[in-house]
Amino acid sequence: MSSPASVPDRPAAELNLGEQVTINKPATTSDTRGGADSSVMIGMYDVQKHFGDLHVLKDINLQVPSGQVVVVLGPSGSGKSTLCRTINRLEPIDSGRIEIDGVELPAEGKALARLRADVGMVFQSFNLFAHKTILDNVTLGPIKVKGMRKAEADKLGMQLLERVGIASQRDKLPAQLSGGQQQRVAIARALAMQPKVMLFDEPTSALDPEMVQEVLDVMTSLAKEGMTMLVVTHEMGFARRAADRVLFMSDGEIVEDAEPDAFFDNPQSNRAKDFLGKILSH
């Protein structure tokens, strides 16, 4: 097969330009791969990212083993969202390498779209498709990306809606649901793609306080089932209870990387102490 070399890294190029897009690294399957890195689900190597002059991700190196739940903390503007968004390439990086389950993210096109389906993402503002019913929100990906039959997708969709406790709302539009319900639908929508990794960018920050717990409960149960998760959140309770690991970011760097109890009880850097002081004092 005459497959051309990798396609140049073009920012924001999402249009499918044909089949000539290849994954940069030979795709390895889990049974041929073996070795120490076989369990690394998210791998970031020397990742750099700028917005103009602003250096938002500085030399990020991060390996998240399969099944680990990582909470990312840090002050506003420290690059937490950007970190999240580069992992499924909603935001292109300047240099470095990002791998999901050992496969490097392709630059663009069909291959990228396919790999993205392996990475579920939940946004602060839910972003449910406003013109589609709750069930259609969940089934759209399986039908259009995976080519699943509608009947099968509906069945899967209902299972997931039941699991997040909103099956009875299936025919409503997103705007008719509360924020907490919408966010649970958004989680179901991401899960419908059977992702290997779930990214959460402040999933409860836009919610009324009484709705935070219902979303955290869904996330906690996901974590218990062994989903690999990277969660940006200010919910310290969740971080302590559900996380295996806490990353503290500041100015585009991962400043601390520790187990939750170690981080909260005994932060090493001044920046983390500062941050915790502010967060915990109110």
Partner 1 sequence: MDFSFLSDDRYDFLGAFWMNVQLTFWSAIGALILGTVLAAMRVSPVPLMRATSTVYVNVVRNIPLTVIIIMMSQVLYTQLGVQLATRGERGFLATNNFRLAVLGFVLYTACFVAEAIRSGINTVPPGQAEAARAIGLRFTQVLWLIVLPQAFRSVIAPLANVLIALIKNTTIASAIGVAEAALLMNTLVENEADKYMAVFLTIAVGFIILTLPVGLLLGWVAKKAAVKR
Positions in the binding site for partner 1 (CB under 8 A) = 10, 12-16, 88, 90, 109-110, 113-117, 119-121, 123, 125, 127-131, 140-141, 144-145, 173, 175-176, 186, 189-190, 192-193
Q: How far is the CB of 72 from ligand ATP (least distance, A)?
A: 8
In whole angstroms, give the CA distance from residue 237 to residue 243: 10
Residues that bind Mg ion (CB under 5 A): 81
Is the CB of 24 or the CB of 233 nearer to Mg ion? 233
With beta carbons less than 8 A apart as the criterion, state whether 188 and 161 touch. yes
Is the CB of 13 or the CB of 23 nearer to partner 1? 13
Is the CB of 143 or the CB of 276 nearer to partner 1? 143
Is the CB of 113 or the CB of 167 nearer to partner 1? 113
Residue 76: contacted member of ligand ATP, partner 1, Mg ion, none (CB under 5 to 8 Å, by partner type): ligand ATP
Residue 78: contacted member of partner 1, ligand ATP, Mg ion, none (CB under 5 to 8 Å, by partner type): ligand ATP
Separation in Å, CA 71 to CA 53, 132, 137, 173, 222: 28, 31, 27, 31, 14
Q: How far is the CB of 188 from partner 1 (least distance, A)?
A: 12
Shortest CA distance to 74 belongs to which of 272, 282, 280, 278?
272
Residue 16 neighbours by CB under 8 Å, 6+ apart: 109, 110, 113
Rg of the chain on CA atoms, in Å = 19
CA dihedral for 201, 277, 260, 75, sign (positive or negative): positive
What three-state secondary structure class fits 107? Answer: coil
Q: How far is the CB of 35 from partner 1 (least distance, A)?
A: 28
Is the CB of 57 or the CB of 148 nearer to ligand ATP? 57
Q: How far is the CB of 43 from partner 1 (least distance, A)?
A: 19
Residue nearest to Mg ion (CB): 81
Is the CB of 139 or the CB of 233 nearer to Mg ion? 233
In whole angstroms, give the CA distance from residue 85 to residue 83: 6
Residues that bind ligand ATP (CB under 6 A): 51, 54, 56, 74, 76-82
Q: How far is the CB of 22 from partner 1 (least distance, A)?
A: 16
Q: How far is the CB of 130 from partner 1 (least distance, A)?
A: 5
- Cα angle, residue 229 at apex, residues 270 and 208 outer, rounded to 5°: 80
Q: What is the DSSP letter of 15?
A: S
CA quadruple 222, 227, 230, 236: dihedral, nearest 10? 40
What three-state secondary structure class fits 22? Answer: coil
Q: How far is the CB of 276 from Mg ion (least distance, A)?
A: 18
Is the CB of 79 or the CB of 195 nearer to ligand ATP? 79
